[in-house]
Structure 1
Amino acid sequence: MGLGGRLVLPWRCLVALSLRLLFLVPAGVPVRSGDATFPKAMDNVTVRQGESATLRCTVDDRVTRVAWLNRSTILIKIHNVDVYDEGPYTCSVQTDNHPKTSRVHLIVQVPPQIINISSDITVNEGSSVTLMCLAFGRPEPTVTWRHLSGKEGRGFVSEDEYLEISGITRDQSGEYECSAVNDVAAPDIRRVKVTVNYPPYISNTKNIGASVGQKGILRCEASAVPVAEFQWFKEETRLANGLDGVRIENKGRMSTLTFFNVSEKDYGNYTCVATNKLGNSNASIILYGPGAVHDGSNSASRAMACLWLSGALFAHLLLKF
């Protein structure tokens, strides 16, 4: 036989050996790798996604052939492990012409990853809001929502992929943090900003006293989202900036009405009006002169002043008679 004939024989032997190895894997109960006795059990090998997995089959001197079989492929070491590599692997061993097998289950762990989360949203106060945070990982991660803008101990918390808020209030606006945890790696954390629109609410107004010729400043503060626009009125007349010696200045939540040189005609009742697309609010503020009693922020003080004046008048009448 020529050179071609000598090459054919080894190739046929290799095919026969491969077929023999494939048929060494019986259908039956899985057994433990580690020695030729193979007790009935299955080992687990756990590895993180992207790492390498080494599957070992320890045998004694009686073994003549060893092969790792999975999906009809001979394997020993798996590089860059992925979730598709997870599953059972069979070690086939032939000792004294009697095949023995063991099975190892490869478990692939995957770090938590948030794959879909709600975008930042803007809603009106009183609306219902649903935030979504979908995460993947092996084992399946736990998803937790936390309200970062809430006061300590009062933050909105939910252990679910969906966070539902019925009748949202302005106090529930701010950032919400979604965290996915499965202890394989560091948590995956993402945030969603929730903006809650609400109509203006005027607070902290106070009547102001100023002498003729002095400077007087009236202040009006309004909380609102979107930020409120301000207007000032005296009686029913709207005031314009720069006219009649007054200046109107708006900065964020605060509006000021400044009199640089107070005159008698400037004394009286002024109205601040704060407006946004959801509504408006107004408040009355008084600019008064020396000797006048005007304290809109403290009605008890006004009552005490009246009581003192009445007592003084009564004492004066007693002394007279």
Structure 2
Amino acid sequence: MQRRETIDDIYDDPLLGDEATDDETMNDTDNSEPQPQKIKAVIETPPKHYEVKAGENVMLECKVTPDKGTVAAWFAKDSQYFMGSIGLHPEETRYSIVEDTKDLMIRKAQLSDSGVFRCETLQKEPVGVNHTLLVLQAPIIINMSASNGGRAAAGGDIVITCLVAASPVPTVLWSVTRKDRGNERLTEKDADFHVEGNLYSMHIKDLKKEDTGAYYCYALNRLGSHQAETTVVVNGKPQVHVAKTIVNSAVQIKAVLQCAAHEEIRPHIRWYKDGQLIENNMAQYVISTSGSHSNLTVSPAGDADFGTFTCEAENEYGTHNRSIELVQSPVVEDLDVNGPRMTWTVHSHQPLEEMEVQLKSANEDGDWTTINVPLPEASHHRYEVSFTLEDKQLQPGKYMAVVKVKNSKSWGGTNEPAFVTVVYRQNSAHSIRPVYTALSTILMYLLVRML
């Protein structure tokens, strides 16, 4: 343990040495009387280990013989705190020497007081005793925080720290509660854990949006436990969704194109026409945006005003877009097959001229078979169609089916085919007629096979 150099200077001071330096004394050889030999001081207190709870008082003993005339010093933390009863650290008001003793009193002990304390006599051949002090405290989490305020980008990293005051050294555990999931303990497969002094940290890499949630730090020792939490939000680039990918309209007929961008950080939404940014001052366009929803109203003045419109959303983590085709050709939606019956909806502001169902074997490279469909009545430019394939003299097997519709401008129809299966059912007269069922209607197929 280090001591101040001033202590050694005391031993070297000629006024405190064992031999007199006064010339008169040295020359007075006839009348001087023999001086009594000074007794070497010893410390009778053995080394001790003290344990005390934080906030309590503790006295460290130092019994010296002979007590009278012996000066003792106290050292701790590589520094001298007392010379006799004189304090050398006036800022440390909790430390004092017990009256008429050489014992050290520590009031309202703190964790920082833990360590080695040495009582040592001030003499040519000093003797001393070392005591160890352990201040006990149930864990207290002083601070828990996440880097960047708890906000991170998908695919990025985050570091969560937990500053703990405790003695003995605590066990620290981590957990998380994510959306729609219970509390789950985090282990080495979820994060990298580090300890530096009383600072505990957890490093999570390659974050996903699902990692958003409340993160907990638990500190435990034999005196108690404490917990704290912090929130982590993992953001990503926006995800754009459109109500319809293709919309029918006509010249001088307004069309409303709708999109929504979903993300915690509200994105900035822009619209493009065939790759060109649409400005708010363009006469044929009106943009209405509220929060994460945006509508583009298009008033076509001619054929050139139809085309591909793109809704793009951007935030600090990236961009995403979806496109909508504004067309004058018929738009077919909601194609459904139920047994021999097919249903679909047609949107067209222009009068319909033709409608057909095209069938092709799903197992062969054959030609498409076309079946004409009667034109239905329109209701507000919307046509509801129900068509049955019974008695169309098709061979049994699996077929792809698409719907094609023509109006006064052009043909339109479904892009993705529906699948139908033609099977035979034998009646009591042993005649054969085709029965149609949707491929997905397994129950109907089984019932037919059982007849």
TM-score, normalization by structure 1: 0.54
* Alpha-carbon spacing, 1:152–1:243, altered in 2? closer, same or farther (3 Å): same
The AA in structure 1 aligned to 2:161 is: M
Secondary structure of 2:331's partner? coil
Match in the other structure for 2:208: 169
Q: Select 2:147's aligned residue among 110, 119, 124.
A: 119
Contact 1:112/1:138 (8 A) holds in 2? no
Shift of 1:163: 1.9
Gap runs ≥5 in structure 1: 1-18, 31-41, 56-70, 90-103
| Change beyond 3 A, Cα 1:50–1:254 | same
**What are the residue-to-residue correspondences of 1:279-298 with 2, within 5 Å?**
279-286=318-325, 292-295=330-333
Identical aligned residues as a percent: 22
User: How many pairs align?
Assistant: 252
Aligned to 1:81: 109
Q: Structure 1: how far apart are the matches of 2:277 and 2:133? A: 79
Alignment match of 1:146 (pick from 175, 192, 195): 175
Going from structure 1 to structure 2, the CA distance change for 1:141 and 1:250 (only over 3 Å counts) comes to farther
Query: Does 2:239 correspond to 1:201?
Result: yes
Tell whether 2:173 aligns with 1:135: no
CA contact (8 A) 2:115 2:132 kept: yes
Please identify the structure whose Cα radius of gyration is greater: 2
Aligned residue in 2 for 1:51: 56
State the Cα distance separating 1:219 from its structure 2 match: 1.7
- Report what 1:13 is aligned to: none
Instruction: Report SS of the residue matched to 1:120.
Output: helix
Higher strand share: 2
- Give 1:230's aligned residue: 269
Gaps of 5+ in 2: 1-38, 61-73, 75-83, 85-96, 118-130, 194-199, 345-355, 358-370, 374-385, 394-451
Deviates more, 1:105-114 or 1:134-143: 105-114
Task: Please tell me whether residue 243 in structure 1 is matched to residue 282 in structure 2.
Answer: yes
CA contact (8 A) 1:249 1:257 kept: yes
In the TM superposition, what is the alpha-carbon distance from 1:202 to its structure 2 partner?
A: 1.8
How far the C-alpha of 1:117 sits from its partner, in A, is 5.0
Residue-by-residue CA offset, 1:216-268 (whole Å, 9 max, x unaligned):
53221223576433222344554332533542123343222135x78886776
CA separation in 1, counterparts of 2:323 and 2:163? Answer: 51
- SS at structure 1 position matched to 2:210: helix
Match of residue 136 from structure 2: 109
User: CA 1:262–1:178 in structure 2 vs 1: closer, same or farther (change >3 Å)?
Assistant: farther
Distance change in 2, residues 1:45/1:109 (3 Å): closer
The 1:286/1:132 distance shift into structure 2, 3 A limit, reads same
CA contact (8 A) 1:228 1:253 kept: yes
Q: Secondary structure at the match of 1:171?
A: helix
Q: Deviations over 1:156-210 (max 9, x none)?
A: 73484332323222222455443434464662525364554x3333235325678
CA gap 1:300/1:201 in 2 versus in 1, 3 angstroms? farther
Which secondary structure state, in structure 1, belongs to the residue aligned with residue 237 of structure 2? strand
Task: Name the aligned partner's letter for residue 240 of structure 2.
Answer: I
TM-score w.r.t. length of structure 2: 0.41
Kindly indicate whether residue 293 of structure 2 is the aligned counterpart of residue 254 of structure 1. Answer: yes
Which residue number corresponds to residue 62 of structure 1? none
Q: 1:179 to 1:203 in 2, by over 3 A?
A: farther
Give the whole-Å Cα distance in 2 for the aligned partners of 1:86 and 1:314: 90
| Structure 2 CA distance for aligned equivalents of residues 262 and 287 of structure 1 | 10
Does the CA contact (< 8 Å) of 2:55 and 2:109 recur in 1?
Answer: yes
Letter in 1 for 2:237: P
User: Residue type of the partner of 1:201?
Assistant: Q
- Report the CA distance shift for 1:217/1:162 in structure 2 as closer, same or farther (over 3 A): same
Question: What is the aligned partner in structure 1 of residue 186 from structure 2?
Answer: 157
Distance 1:314 1:83 in 2: 87
Contact kept? 1:147, 1:175, Cα under 8 Å: yes
What is the RMSD of the two structures over their aligned residues, measured on CA atoms? 5.2
